[in-house]
Amino acid sequence: MYKPIMYYHVDTSNRGDWVIKKSIVEAIQKRIDVPFAFMSVKNDELSEERILKQLNKDCSALMIAGSGLYTNYPKSSGWYFPCKTELFEKIKVPIMLVGLGCNQNLKGNVLNSGLKDEVKQSIKLINDLAVVSTVRDQRTYDTLSGLGITKHKLMIDPANFLDVKRRPKEKRVAIQIAQHAPILGRFDGNNELRGYNVESFAKISTYLIENGYSVLFIAHDALENSLIVDLKRLEPKIEYINSDNLDEMLAEYARCEFTIAVKMHSCIMSFASGTPFINVYYDLKSTEYMNLIKCEENGVNIFEQYYPTLLEKVFKMKKQIYKQTRHISRIRRIEQVKFDKLIDNICNIIKTG
């Protein structure tokens, strides 16, 4: 058995963060018997003492994986990694940066400012030291290129490659609404938008149910239980799951003909399950993801009065379900080759280190 990989990630109640970890860890452990030591970018400072006495001595690599970590954030690096920049060069094990992005909202000022100069310098240094660097979207790729970084590669989010058992498709649709940020209608935010989202998704669900579909709301955050309550007031026949069991969530996505979702990782879990989707997007990372998998026509902006457009897209999806499903499978096969090459490279580095 190899020494553990110290793995830094966003460890929150958002199941989207969990599926990134699940995909990477399972892919690596299918190839080599290496354990992981999971560290939260929220809480686990990588101090000089931890680098010298724990990381360098007891670990085989440092991996920073998933989410929009290349973002101004009040951590000791200036971005979403809790380590002082001047300590990076003390790290003697291989550094692996996997599936990172830059957050940027379509509307409002949350996370919308450009990277600070000290953050740019920190990101460039860790990339210069890294043996692996992949990013999840074109904008992040271009941002790093603008910093003079050349070794990074563009790949779709690692969670797209979850190994999900294929199931017979049923006349069933998964839905998901997000409310994790004030701009989307959290308790301290835009309740008008939240109300419109609930009303629109309830009307779409009623339409589908009247046409012989079952509709399932899949929560991606424990706090989305309030959305379940409000949706069922308007359409009592909506089913739901609010579970920490990722395999249960993925099995449900795999059963459905298609998905209508706000959060990008609801779409990604659909993709991994072989299920096409419509994305009611709120962030540039979602539109960039749709471009990468050539599904641009399946997106609609949440900040518009989107219901009529969404209804049209549901009509189109119903008519093209087999074509859309085949497209998802074809893109998965193409992108899987890149992901397998990445994982093989990581494993070879661990084995030879």
- CATH, residue 35: 3.40.50
Residues 257, 285 share a domain: yes
- Residue 1 · residue 33 · CB < 8 Å: yes
Mean of pLDDT over the chain:
93
Q: Is 212 helix (H, G, I), strand (E, B) or coil?
A: coil
Residues 185, 88 share a domain: no
pLDDT tier at 187, thresholds 50, 70, 90: confident
- Can you tell me the mean pLDDT for 217-234? 93
Kindly state whether residue 167 falls inside one of the protein's structural domains: no
Lowest mean pLDDT among 169-178, 180-189, 311-320: 180-189
Domain that holds residue 79: 5-161+333-352
Residues 288, 176 share a domain: yes
Kindly state whether residue 193 falls inside one of the protein's structural domains: yes
Q: What is the pLDDT of residues 156-172, one digit of tens each?
A: 999 999 999 988 999 99
Number of domains into which the chain is organized = 2
Q: What is the pLDDT of residues 104-159, one digit of tens each?
A: 654 444 445 688 999 999 999 999 999 999 999 898 999 999 999 999 999 999 99
Please state, as a whole number, how many other Cβ atoms lie within 10 Å of the Cβ of residue 210. Answer: 9
pLDDT tier at 190, thresholds 50, 70, 90: confident
Lowest mean pLDDT among 100-109, 221-230, 322-331: 100-109
Kindly state whether residue 325 falls inside one of the protein's structural domains: no
Indicate whether 43 pLDDT > 70: yes
What is the DSSP code (8-state) at residue 94? P
- Report how far apart, in Å, the C-alpha atoms of 263 and of each of 28, 176, 236, 278, 284 are: 26, 7, 23, 11, 12
Indicate whether 300 pLDDT > 50: yes
pLDDT for 110: 43
pLDDT for 311: 98
Residues 177, 156 share a domain: no
- Degrees to nearest 5, angle at CA 114 with 111 and 115: 95
Residues 230, 118 share a domain: no
Please name the residue ranges forming H helices in 214-259: 225-234, 246-255
Residues 183, 302 share a domain: yes
Residues 229, 101 share a domain: no
- CATH, residue 238: 3.40.50.2000
pLDDT tier at 184, thresholds 50, 70, 90: confident
How many Å is the maximal CA-CA distance in the chain?
63
Residues 201, 113 share a domain: no
Kindly state whether residue 231 falls inside one of the protein's structural domains: yes
Phi, psi of 176 (to 5 degrees): -160, 135
- Residue 152 · residue 135 · CB < 8 Å: yes
pLDDT for 104: 61
Residues 179, 153 share a domain: no
- Can you tell me the mean pLDDT for 313-322? 97
Indicate whether 31 pLDDT > 60: yes
pLDDT for 129: 98
Q: What is the pLDDT of residues 251-292, one digit of tens each?
A: 999 999 999 999 999 999 999 999 999 999 998 888 989 999
Kindly state whether residue 315 falls inside one of the protein's structural domains: yes
Residues 176, 151 share a domain: no
Residues 342, 276 share a domain: no
Q: What is the pLDDT of residues 84-97, one digit of tens each?
A: 999 999 999 999 99
H or E element at residue 243: none
User: Would strands 214-218 and 258-261 be described as parallel, antiparallel, or unpaired?
Assistant: unpaired
pLDDT tier at 302, thresholds 50, 70, 90: very high
Residues 261, 187 share a domain: yes
> With b meaning 16 or more CB within 10 Å and e meaning fewer, what string describes 149-174?
beebeebbbbbbbbebeebebeebbb
